[in-house]
Amino acid sequence: MATITGLAFISNAVNGLTLQLEVVSPNGPAFKISEKPEMPQIKLRASVCGGDAAANKTAWFDWSVTLRHESPACRHQTASNNTSHNPLNARTFGGDWTIPFKDIRGGKLEVTVKTTAKAAGGKLTPLSVVSKDLRIVGTNPAITTLSTTIPNNVLKQIARHESSLRQFLDSRDGACACPYFSEDGKGGVGLFQITNPLPSADEIWNWRKNLERAKAMFAEKHAAAKGYPGQCRKDPVFIDLVRQFIEQQQTEFVAEKKKANPQAKELVPPHFQVVLPEYNDDELYDDTIRAFNGYGGVDNLGHRGRLHEFEVPIVPGDEGDMLDARVGADGKTATLQWQRVDPRRRRYDDGRPIGDPDYVANVKKQPLF
């Protein structure tokens, strides 16, 4: 026979009968989602006290369970972060039942059990009892688990920077009752502070789902960063800057030749070209990291919301902006070098920072594990 924890709830007496709901295991009132994670196996027992003991021992019991987590239960939690488990209902012959959770969820747990019992005089009597102050809390993954589960060093550094490797916040009693919601109040949560689109209930309570979302985001943002040089090459503003640069080079070429030989006629300048290269590996990963915090701001081609970690090198000229390029040794090719954006540019018009202006540097200084 299982040991009783001492956690029990007893109904009001009716016709000399009471209905008792006991938590057999594990110890409560806070039940932990495991690190794996898996929901706790909560074993319950309902029993009727008083009346016809033999008849009541083999009674039918009707169970219902709700599990909700609603703001403002936790610091920085928003209404969009509210979660619930689908209601669970069951009917058992005899009073033993283990809650069959389907999803990883936490919050306030409420168990209701009902039965119809036989009083000493044979009268059938409905009884019910409801639990109080039960909750399901989280467990943070160990650093050794994360070390073998997070697939690359960039994501490891992002997780350490975003959450200090926490899916949940520790409370005074040591229970991780609250997911780690983002301190900016925008609904982000967990290891990677998943924010946009808003995190699902799975990503709030299951750290592995949070990681899966981060991996998908990494692939998406890596592709966006990799495609940025090609996007710039097709940009009308960049194309016009290239045209102006080539025209300037052609003009200077002719002027220099005429200066050297005033009698020269029909001088034909070489075919100048401007090369905007792909990112190298370091630039690509830095821009992918930047994407996790967003591309907020205006780039120097005039596009809002497209301020990557790097941009086309442009300098002000006497007649307007010009590409910052030099023709190479072949006398006709200018290869541009990507220019890292000054963090001070990542500001709204009123001076407020857009995200974390130094996000890439802050992530890269995180120790690996």
Q: Express each pLDDT in 49-101 by its tens digit.
A: 998 888 778 899 999 999 999 988 898 999 999 999 999 999 999 999 999 99
Q: CA–CA separation, 80 vs 8, rounded Å?
A: 34
The domain total for the chain is 3
Same domain as 257, residue 154:
no
In a domain, 59, yes or no: yes
In a domain, 210, yes or no: no
Same domain as 227, residue 195:
no
pLDDT score, position 1: 33
Q: CA–CA separation, 204 vs 222, rounded Å?
A: 24
In a domain, 2, yes or no: no
Q: CA–CA separation, 221 vs 218, rounded Å?
A: 5
List the beta bridge partners of residue 85: 67
Same domain as 229, residue 299:
yes
pLDDT score, position 270: 83
Among 98, 113, 137, where does a domain finish? 137
Same domain as 77, residue 153:
no
pLDDT score, position 5: 47
Same domain as 225, residue 99:
no
| Percentage with pLDDT > 70 across the chain | 97
Q: Output the domain CATH number for residue 85.
A: 2.60.40
Same domain as 286, residue 194:
no
For residue 277, the SS3 value is coil
Same domain as 124, residue 29:
yes
What stretches in the chain show pLDDT beneath 50?
1-5
Q: CA–CA separation, 353 vs 289, rounded Å?
A: 17
Same domain as 113, residue 23:
yes
Task: Name the pTM for this structure.
Answer: 0.89
In a domain, 187, yes or no: yes
Range of the domain at 94: 8-137
In the numeric block, the tokens 């009597």 are attached to 125
Among 137, 155, 187, where does a domain finish? 137
In the numeric block, the tokens 């690359």 are attached to 152
In a domain, 86, yes or no: yes
In a domain, 213, yes or no: no
Among 119, 137, 155, where does a domain finish? 137
User: Which uninterrupted H or E stretch holds 262?
Assistant: none
Q: What is the DSSP letter of 183?
A: T
Same domain as 107, residue 14:
yes
Same domain as 342, residue 233:
yes
CA atoms within 13 Å, Cβ hemisphere of 44 = 31
In a domain, 1, yes or no: no
Same domain as 321, residue 303:
yes
Same domain as 276, residue 338:
yes
Cis bond upstream, residue 151 (ω within 30): no
DSSP E strand stretches across the chain = 8-10, 18-25, 30-32, 43-49, 60-69, 83-93, 96-98, 107-118, 124-130, 134-137, 168-169, 178-179, 273-275, 310-311, 314-317, 320-323, 333-335, 339-340
In a domain, 344, yes or no: yes
